[in-house]
Homo-oligomer: A and B are copies of this chain.
């Protein structure tokens, strides 16, 4: 199934002031596959995702989409390409309700007027598929939601659209057992439908359960990007914590993070 990658980054560098967070990172995502992006806390996973989403401009580096070089100057560019992202810090507007958040920036209209009814209908359908039982009303402000409910809303928001790439930054962190299973199932389903899915997770079981490829970041460097079937559980953990594992990984590791 794997032709060229739908999304490809090369040589990404990113610094915040004096601190260099990403060092010459290369990363690809393929249609129909789930790519797991793993790495220790502070490895730079979320920063990489934000560079992909146009939240942070990267200092240097190239961005290819469907083989063509593109410039992503902001979130609108990324969305226009068909890249949907669930950020780790769940960018929701606390003063809006669930439906409003889910359709933010892409409201359905009939004429000039918002089509609240159809938005509510679609939102309910999507959330139903994610096993949320305790939400009393779709018109509840997201500020009053529990941690897991917020996360579910953020996920539902991202999968509502017809996109080509879906990136989920630790989507199951706050989810319960049933909800986690649903989300993993959803991830698989999205990939099977031909989308490229990037999943960031610290849970190795989840990673091995759904992913086709694993990309491991170590202190801001890409340690390895391999097929999941070709590595073992402990190899991946070694890549995460030490940056290399046998053949794989960063060759000349000097351990300097900054």
Which residues of A does B touch, CB under 8 Å? 16, 19, 39-43, 45-47, 88-89, 132-136, 144-149, 152, 170, 173-180, 202-204, 219, 237, 240-241, 257-258
Q: Are B202 and A40 interface neighbours, CB within 8 A?
A: no
Partner of A176, one of B144, B146, B202: B202
Q: Are B180 and A135 interface neighbours, CB within 8 A?
A: no
Q: Would you give the shortest CB distance from A169 to chain B, in whole angstroms?
A: 8
Q: Are B89 and A176 interface neighbours, CB within 8 A?
A: no
Q: Are B179 and A144 interface neighbours, CB within 8 A?
A: no
The verdict on A40 contacting B135 (CB below 8 Å), with A144-B16, A146-B46 known, is no
CA distance A258 to B240 in the complex (A): 44
Q: Are A41 and B179 interface neighbours, CB within 8 A?
A: yes
Enumerate 26 A-B pairs (CB-CB under 8 Å) in ascending A order.
Answer: A40-B134, A41-B134, A41-B147, A42-B133, A42-B134, A42-B135, A42-B145, A42-B146, A42-B148, A42-B149, A43-B134, A133-B219, A136-B257, A136-B258, A147-B173, A148-B202, A173-B174, A174-B202, A175-B202, A176-B202, A177-B202, A177-B204, A177-B237, A178-B240, A178-B241, A203-B203
Q: Would you give the shortest CB distance from A38 to chain B, in whole angstroms?
A: 9
State the 8 A-B residue pairs at the shortest beta-carbon distance, nearest first: A41-B148, A42-B134, A173-B173, A40-B176, A42-B146, A41-B176, A88-B147, A176-B202
CA distance A13 to B39 in the complex (A): 42
Task: Kindly report which residue of chain B lies nearest to residue A255, judged by CB atoms.
Answer: B133
Residues of B within 8 Å of A89, CB to CB, are 147
Most buried by B among A41, A146, A170, A175: A41
Residues of B within 8 Å of A40, CB to CB, are 133-134, 148, 176-179
Residues of B within 8 Å of A147, CB to CB, are 41, 46, 88-89, 170, 173
Task: Kindly report which residue of chain B lies nearest to residue A146, judged by CB atoms.
Answer: B42
Residues of B within 8 Å of A133, CB to CB, are 40, 42, 219, 257
